[in-house]
Amino acid sequence: MARAARTGPDRTGKQKNPHMFCVQCEKQDSVLIRVLQLLTSVCEDARLDSVLPAARKQRDGAELGCVVSSCPPRCTRVSAAQGNFSHSSFCSEGETRRPVGVSDCTSCDSPGSGDAHASERSAAARDASGPSGSSSPSYPALCLTTDTFTDTSAAMDRRVGNLLLLVLILTVRGHAADEDRDLEMCGVWKNSGTSLTMDVDVKTGCTGITISANTSTLSIRGSVTAKCKQSEVHDLKDPGSNFSSFCVFWEPLLDQLMVEVNKENFTLCKARELQPRCCTYLSAGLQTAASLQYGIINGSVRGDLLSPNVMEVYEFKGDTLDCKNYFCTKAVQKSRGANMIEDAVMRSAEVGRVYMPCVESTVIEMKEDFAGTNVTLFAPRGVSPASLPALHLPACLKREKNKTSKVVCSYYKNSSFFQTSSHRILEDVVGISVENEIIADLPEPVRITFRHMKTKSRKCVSWDTRTDNEVVWRETGCVTRALSAGETECCCNHLTYFAILVDLNPTRNVRHLEALTFITAVGCAISIASCAILFISLCRQRKLKNKSSLVHRGLVVALFLLLVLFVLTGTVANVASEGVCSVIGALLHYMLISVLCWMAVEVIHTFWMMYMVFNQTPNPWTWYLLGFGAPALPVIILGSIGGVYGQRMVNSDDDLTKPYRMCWMTNSKSALMAHFIINMGLLVAVVSSGIIMLVQVFRKIRNRDEWRRNRVAFLSIWGLSCLFGSTWALAFFTSEPSETVIFLFCIINSLQ
């Protein structure tokens, strides 16, 4: 950065000797590399030795604390005598503001505002802005003013300088975490426009890289590669103007160096195998301004501006580190870190086993005669080869017959890349991808056999990174086949990441599910027909003005609708949408509560007839309000909560691939709580109160004359109530049921 002013009087008439610098701010959040480059330039003018990249080192002997303000600009003055600094209010163009206790702060953009060389800077900025119509955007200037030191005035204490530098590091440390190990340096090369060349001299080592430009040559020199050595001169196409855009790309993990000049690509170092150690953290070092106005304009790193001026040389210093370990550490922190790893393996030149600390990969070349293959995965350290998943890739995986393409099979033993809070997967995760292709709807599935600890609750799931940015495990496109208690085969028609999902709240698998389903269907069909016949019979009794028939009709209607919905719920769950299934589930729950309420009404009505024989019975519509109105309240409340009703699966213990689907209450915590409080609670209340009331009725009237006349009716209701109570009471014995209890419950309950 050029010095802007040397001497000049201040408002008091006293001679000052300030160094004033103007820095262009690219955006609100200054990134570490740009700010450190600013520090380097400022401190060099203050006759410091240097400020090393990323603020990791500071040479001894530094006597000036370099202060940087954030955008938008504030005027900052550092006093050498007092060793402090302060900020004024915002500097408007052409304004002069006086901070409290600090000398004048003058805008560096307006000529004549206390800056004798402002016009020189304005002219230099116009020269550096490029051709007309293509100038870089104008950014607000940041004025940094430091007083020079005299021999009689002691330099600022080194501790103050260190403290100010620490403040800077803390300000931008959040951005430092986002710095990538790769280098992407771009700019506009101002040249003569004819006979242009690119001079390349790249060697192994890690001393750094220099990018420079003059009238006719763009030079890239340095030692940053692990194995690549390249020394050559490339002739460049005539750009048709005096300005050529260019970018330099360095990927240390692949040992790959590429350059793009006016959309013409040059691969100076081709991608190799993944490097265990590499030269990375290439940070901006020394920058040299151009003397003849030919050089690099608007030099930037990953879009962060280094300098808007015409610069002849940019130097970047690097460090050597363990590339693979660093790459894995960064990938684990990303939501799509597995994609980063898979992409790096795919772009490397490796075939066969590719080892990284976080993943074992196998790269296979599918040539013209590819007819499918079984893939042998490699075991990470400490993992038995017998526990590894087995893969079979079908022949249909290769789409283009005349082209050789690569397929990468990755094995993750640590599932920290993919674990979510709502689902738990087993440790093994397999990722499969084909080079430059999206594979879906395969006619022959990919088969992955997982070997795991014995478990009954397991599902094959996949994470489709095309549709979900975050990890979401879905069963779509995969079929689960339980080969044994400790072995599961996943047959999937697409390529992505695959795993075995374990239910955090596993439901009990049911034995003989197919037989029980058949018995239920037959029993429900008989009950539906019986309800229809009984309803017709009760309607005839209505003409005889039998008050009991009204209550009986309510129970019959509720039971009829419950059975019809129960029969249809399996079909709806398999063909309808989730929304329709939720509605059917809510209706089924409503009818179940309604049946239980009508059972309670039957018991109360019977008790009223037998015990309060001389009292007037309640209005018949009161019974209908209890039987059909009251059940709507809990269903409406649960429906408003959401997630209570939906598809429910009952797994067969014989075949996990054929679960019974129905529209009912889901397995969510709120649904399970509602089931135990409402369903089971109401059932306990109905059965227990029915038994108590019937016993009291029997004790009250057994010695009366009415007993003989109403014995048949009473015993009929008693038997009916016992039948209801006994069938539903079997539900209390289904926590660990025997097969006899299950079949008995199914037969009696479907024929009630």
The model's pLDDT over 594-651, given as tens digits with 9 standing for 90+, comes to 999 998 888 888 777 766 665 677 777 888 899 999 999 999 999 998 889 998 887 6
CB atoms within 10 A of CB 101: 9
Confidence at 147, pLDDT banded by 50, 70, 90: very low
Judge whether residue 580 has pLDDT over 90.
yes
Lowest mean pLDDT among 26-40, 131-145, 171-185, 312-326: 131-145
SS3 content of the chain, % helix, strand, coil (to 5): 35, 30, 35
Query: CA 730, CA 608: separation in Å to the nearest integer?
Result: 28
pLDDT confidence of residue 703: 67
15: DSSP letter: E
Kind of pairing between the strands at 230-235 and 217-225: unpaired
Confidence at 127, pLDDT banded by 50, 70, 90: very low
pLDDT confidence of residue 705: 62
Residue with tokens 């020189």: 120
Lowest mean pLDDT among 92-106, 570-584, 627-641: 92-106
In the predicted model, what is the mean pLDDT of residues 61-66? 32
When mean pLDDT is compared over 88-92, 103-107, 376-380, 423-427, the highest value belongs to: 376-380
Q: Which residue has the higher pLDDT, 550 or 541?
A: 550
Lowest mean pLDDT among 84-93, 408-417, 560-569, 734-743: 84-93
Per CATH, 336-502 and 513-750 having the same topology is answered: no
Judge whether residue 191 has pLDDT over 60.
yes
Q: Which of 248, 324, 255, 281 is nearest to 177 (CA)?
A: 281
In the predicted model, what is the mean pLDDT of residues 29-53? 39
Judge whether residue 46 has pLDDT over 50.
no
Q: Which residue has the higher pLDDT, 41 or 411?
A: 411
Confidence at 382, pLDDT banded by 50, 70, 90: confident
543: DSSP letter: T
pLDDT confidence of residue 631: 95
Judge whether residue 410 has pLDDT over 60.
yes
Instruction: Indicate the angle between helix axes 705-729 and 578-611, nearest 10 degrees.
Output: 160
Residues forming beta bridges with residue 18, ordered by sequence position: 147
- Six token digits for residue 308: 């808007």
pLDDT tens digits, 671-688: 889 998 999 899 888 888
pLDDT confidence of residue 544: 52
Q: Which residues have C-beta within 8 Å of that of residue 475, sequence separation ≥ 6?
A: 459, 460, 461, 501
Centroid of chain to Cα 729? 47
CB 370 within 8 A of CB 393: no
Judge whether residue 153 has pLDDT over 60.
no
Query: CA 326, CA 340: separation in Å to the nearest integer?
Result: 13
CB 530 within 8 A of CB 536: no
Judge whether residue 72 has pLDDT over 80.
no
CB 22 within 8 A of CB 108: yes
For every residue of 384-421, DSSP letters joined together read -GGGS-EEEE-GGG---TTS-EEEEEEEESSGGGT--S
pLDDT confidence of residue 79: 31
If you average pLDDT over every residue of the chain, what do you get?
72
* Cα distance between the two ends of the chain: 92
Q: Containing H/E element for 719? A: helix 705-729
- The proportion of the chain whose per-residue pLDDT surpasses 70, expressed as a percent, equals 64
pLDDT confidence of residue 609: 75
- Between the alpha carbon of residue 424 and those of residues 418, 427, 499, 655, the distances in Å are 9, 9, 10, 22
Q: Which residues have C-beta within 8 Å of that of residue 568, sequence separation ≥ 6?
A: 584
pLDDT confidence of residue 752: 63
Confidence at 711, pLDDT banded by 50, 70, 90: low
pLDDT confidence of residue 654: 63
pLDDT confidence of residue 751: 67
The phi, psi pair for 579, rounded to 5°, reads -65, -45
Query: CA 489, CA 483: separation in Å to the nearest integer?
Result: 7
Domain spans of the chain, in order of start: 8-176, 183-325, 336-502, 513-750
Judge whether residue 500 has pLDDT over 90.
no
513-750 CATH, one of 3.40.50.300, 1.10.10.10, 1.20.1070.10, 3.40.50.2000: 1.20.1070.10
In the predicted model, what is the mean pLDDT of residues 50-67? 32
195: DSSP letter: S
pLDDT confidence of residue 452: 84
Write a three-state SS string for 65-94.
CCCCCCCCCEEEEEECCCCEEEEEEECCCC
CB 182 within 8 A of CB 251: yes
Confidence at 592, pLDDT banded by 50, 70, 90: very high
Judge whether residue 130 has pLDDT over 50.
no
Confidence at 48, pLDDT banded by 50, 70, 90: very low
Query: CA 311, CA 477: separation in Å to the nearest integer?
Result: 56
Confidence at 438, pLDDT banded by 50, 70, 90: confident
336-502 CATH, one of 3.30.9.10, 2.60.220.50, 3.40.50.2000, 2.40.30.10: 2.60.220.50
pLDDT confidence of residue 512: 73
